[in-house]
Amino acid sequence: MTFYINTLYMRTIVKLWDKGKSFETDKFVESFTVGRDRELDMKLARFDVQGSMAHIKMLESIGLLEKNELNILLAELETILKNIEANNFEIEEGIEDVHSQIELMLTRKLGETGKKIHSGRSRNDQVLVDLKLFFKSEITEIACLSKELFYTLINLSETHKDVLMPGYTHFQIAMPSSFGLWFGAYAESLADDLLILEASYKQADQNPLGSAAGYGSSFPLNRTMTTELLGFSELHYNSVAAQMSRGKTEKALAYAIAAIAGTLSKLAGDICLYMSQNFGFVSLPDSFTTGSSIMPHKKNPDMFELIRGKCNRLQALPNELTLTTCNLPSGYHRDLQLLKEIIFPAIDELKNCLVASDRMLRNIIVNSVTDNTLYDCMFTVEDVNRLTLSGIPFRDSYREIAIQVHNKMYKPCRKVSHTHEGSIGNLCNDKITEKMEKRFSTIVVNQE
């Protein structure tokens, strides 16, 4: 059996846990344990610098750094941060992760002073800080994209509030709905999804720095100071609980991603169905559809089909994270490294699906279809209610209309009058918008 060995296996990997020349780690073991960290950690670089800057300010305040050393380190970290923001930063070949890269750069430039930056922390709480800051930033971006899509849906709801469409139960024509009601339903669903996103934000908005490897430090650290410097709302007080939040934070976010993905998937499924010739409720410009290699008439909703498929896959995210972590006892385990490989791509996938959904909906075409006699029966409940309001008992009204339908004598009155909150004639889009704004502001105001 032949194995392909990446050239990285043959290189020395710089490690924060290097103990000198007392032993050599097998090159395959080195590469296998590093995994995709070098690639994925690029997303954490900015936050690693921010965490280090807060940490050394705290170290200086408790006497573990001199003032001049702090100023030198801060200046160099600012330079690194500017390079990161200018996309002029890389994790060099042979460097284990972003933490090692930044510490190596400081040590190269500042010598012994650079070596002091890690005092009072472990790579465990260092990566936890990076992840929590990263998740807070990503959650805010997801909230912003969700809000953009929300307003597209609300605008469509208002624009088409008077255009009727059939509502369905059991895939059978049921009662009158409207495009205003349909678009507005997905807007409110997104507002509800932000409740779960807000909860995931609060889970991430706790400072683990100073918990070290999960059991604290004998240095007199000021964890309240780093909490304030990094903009966290509160501490993970118990150092073991802080370490246990690795995996728990990811799962909280995964449930939020799955909730939003569920909304997008259902919306995409509706549109794929309603675009078919059997329905014809909506359509898209030719430039937003694809064709067939042999059927010249085809206008396929490939974008929405892919959104549906991607979002269905995203709904499995909580289960995947649970299976990765379900049998781990307290304390750090290397299994947790794999969570980045699961959650990072999922965040990007959801953001892409939100952008794609918004772009497609801004170009959707609504078709009026309910004048077709095919949809006569969707007005039966309206006529039952109309008879009941005239004084006939409901059960008698129901039977009268049922007999007309059975005998093919039913002729609908197509006038619809709904007034209660959340009905065709009273969409309450203003109240739904209040919901969204309230939940959105809880996330974004905290981030700012």
Q: What pLDDT is stored for residue 147 in this prediction? A: 98
Q: What pLDDT is stored for residue 6 in this prediction? A: 36
What are the structure tokens assigned to 369, written together?
């279809």
Query: From the candidates 170, 297, 406, 420, which is the catalytic residue?
Result: 170
pLDDT of 21 > 80? The answer is no
DSSP state of 8: G
Class at the top of the CATH hierarchy for domain 7-119: mainly alpha
Range with lowest mean pLDDT among 15-24, 206-215, 236-245? 15-24
Q: Confirm if 99 and 127 have CB atoms less than 8 A apart.
A: yes
Q: What pLDDT is stored for residue 13 in this prediction? A: 43
- % of the chain surpassing 70 pLDDT: 93
* Tens of pLDDT, residues 152-189: 999 999 999 999 999 999 999 999 999 999 999 999 99
Q: Confirm if 36 and 43 have CB atoms less than 8 A apart.
A: no
Q: Which residues contact 138 (CB under 8 A, 6 or more apart)?
A: 253, 347
Residues facing residue 365 across a β-bridge: 283
Q: Which residues contact 381 (CB under 8 A, 6 or more apart)?
A: 175
pLDDT of 387 > 70? The answer is yes
- Maximum separation of any 2 CA atoms in the chain, in Å: 95
Q: What pLDDT is stored for residue 291 in this prediction? A: 86
* Tens of pLDDT, residues 130-157: 999 999 999 999 999 999 999 999 999 9
What are the structure tokens assigned to 186, written together?
């997905």
pTM: 0.91
Q: What's the CATH fold of domain 124-158+180-218+238-369+432-447?
A: Fumarase C; Chain A, domain 2 (1.20.200)
Average pLDDT over residues 425-432: 97
Q: Cα dist. 268→155, 274, 424 in Å? A: 18, 10, 22
Count Cβ neighbours within 10 Å for each residue of 144-180 and write b for 16 or more, e otherwise.
ebbbebbebbbebbeebbebbbbbeeeeebebbbbbb
Q: What pLDDT is stored for residue 27 in this prediction? A: 74
Q: What pLDDT is stored for residue 22 in this prediction? A: 56
Spell out the domain ranges in the chain: 7-119, 124-158+180-218+238-369+432-447, 373-406
Q: How far apart are CA 34 and CA 28, in angstroms?
A: 10
SS3 (DSSP) at 326 = coil
Average pLDDT over residues 291-320: 94
* Tens of pLDDT, residues 242-284: 999 999 999 999 999 999 999 999 999 999 999 999 999 999 9
Query: From the candidates 233, 276, 292, 441, which is the catalytic residue?
Result: 292
Q: How far apart are CA 181 and CA 175, in angstroms?
A: 12
* Tens of pLDDT, residues 75-115: 999 999 999 999 999 999 888 899 999 999 999 999 999 99
Range with lowest mean pLDDT among 161-170, 289-298, 376-385, 406-415? 289-298
292 is annotated as an active-site residue? yes
